[in-house]
Amino acid sequence: MNRKNRKYLSFSPARILVLCALFSGTLPLFSQTALVKGKAEGQPNELVRVIVYADQFSKLPKTLASAYTDNNGLFELKPEIKQTDFAFLALGLKKGEFYLKPEAGYQFLIPKDTTENRGSVFDRLPLQFTLKAYDGGLADDIGNFNVEYNTFIYQNSNKIYHGRDKRFVTDFINKVNLQYDSLEDEYVKNYVKYSLISLQWVGRMMTSDSVISAFFVNQPILYHNIQYTEFFTDLFQSYFGYQKIFSYSEIVGAINSGKGFQAVDELLKRQENLARDDQLRELIGIFLIARKYYSADVIRGRAISLLKEIAQNSRFEENRNVAGNYIIKLRWLEPGTPAPAFSLKDASGKQVSLSELSNKVLLISFFRSDCKICLEQLAGLQTIQKKFGNKLKMVTLVYGKEFNNAVQYANDRNISWPFLNIENNILLLEAYNIRAYPTYIIVKPGGNIAMANAPMPDENLELYIRRYINESEKNSSNGSH
């Protein structure tokens, strides 16, 4: 229901101008630019990024600025931003949340991470840091509100969801509204507003219809306020799941019909309130199409066509952007899409690229250098290689500090395919969505994805490879006539 609180160092408003001056005398001169500085203790030459979502509905990541820490772990970035937004500071592949405001300043202190994580590069604790935010109090206001709000939810969750007497909820809402009534920052005001509306909704103090009518229809759509968009998602996902406005078969049929977005729009117009707001209704349509994309009954190509129609023809720029972002997000690593390119060094220092390997069916294995399971699976991979011979190419991409040990292990067992060192090209792991080791990707001749997250060697990997080799040979034979 609400973002978790992040620890911020607090300071009084009277000190803000003094601290800003000390932090950077020229800070107010950066038009629509934020200044992000800091130190990653004991972590030199590490990639640092400021990341936002291209929009808060698709949640497609977008890097605003990047740099490397110097020999002392210091870094400085100047991301350009048009409005306050929910953001991440990323060090390597670890990310921590903060709120980024135009013309604000941020000072991060990132302690050295002494814990070694040998699993996924994604499924780990968020990046830990201490932050001084020179943003007019925005970070403090959101942080203080989150503490108060989440504490109230934690202490009263059973009564909120199941109790009949909601006067204590009303008292809390009135108290918070009085407390934050004098805020000038629109982002924080709307953050608080939609948090409290969400509380009334989950507490059954307001129906879905009344919430939609009062707070969404013909109201500004807050495309970059994370509390608004998360409530939007919860509300409309629940609403169309329980309300009998249209059936599952009707929405799937509209997506698959080939009649364009109008078929989906006509279903949404059955809800009288939504019929009065073209922009909101279209956004909900985008959301529903994206939600149904992975349903077994949906023709994915038709769903993408609907999103393309909106991305190209919508009267509303923000909706065009959201639809376009969903297309990218939904098709990420899908069969038939280009495999992310790479050019990495082998053990001899020679650069090897994807384009050199993709003239045949290619099996890419992602290993971590200290992953014992990865090395144990080399025997199974070697068996697969011998079965298919020159019909299959293989390459192993190794992440970690012990690359040479992995290469030596392979050499001792007469592994003939190349092992490539990912080194500091960690964005390649993001591009291939590597969440655990080992991970296998099958690529078709020409460089398009055949299968992302293919099975392990002892889990029918061979059958899938055989299928794509047969398909490739059939296509090659047909093309020769």
Number of domains in the chain: 3
* Claim to verify: residue 301 and residue 356 sit in the same structural domain: no
Domain enclosing residue 233, as ranges: 143-330
Over residues 95-138, the pLDDT tens digits come to 999 999 999 999 999 998 744 454 454 455 789 999 999 999 99
Condensed to tens digits (0 to 9), the pLDDT of residues 222-247 reads 999 999 999 999 999 999 988 789 99
Identify the CATH number of the domain in which residue 388 sits: 3.40.30.10
- Given CA atoms 377, 380, 384, 386 in this order, what sign does their dihedral have? positive
DSSP conformation letters of 314-346: -S-HHHHHHHHHHHHHHTTT-TTSBPPP-EEE-
Q: Is residue 72 part of a domain?
A: yes
| CATH number of the domain that residue 70 is part of | 2.60.40.1120
pLDDT above 60 for 168: yes
Does residue 4 lie in a domain region? Answer: no
Predicted confidence at residue 3, as pLDDT, reads 54
State phi, psi for 82 to the nearest 5 degrees. Answer: -90, -30
Say whether both 363 and 434 belong to one domain. Answer: yes
The answer to the question of residue 152 being in a domain is: yes
Residue 457: asked if its preceding bond is cis (omega within 30°), the reply is: no
Of 136, 162, 184, the position where a domain reaches its end is 136
Q: Do 114 and 228 sit in the same domain of this protein?
A: no
Residue 431 DSSP SS3: helix
Q: What is the pLDDT of residues 6-45, one digit of tens each?
A: 433 333 333 333 333 334 433 443 448 999 999 999 999 9
Distance separating alpha carbons of residues 230 and 373, to the nearest angstrom: 38
Instruction: Give the count of beta carbons closer than 10 Å to the beta carbon of residue 366.
Output: 21
Please, which pLDDT band fits residue 147 given cuts at 50, 70 and 90? very high
Predicted TM-score (pTM) of this structure = 0.85
H-run or E-run covering 363 = strand 361-368
Distance in angstroms (rounded) separating the CA atoms of residues 339 and 450? 9
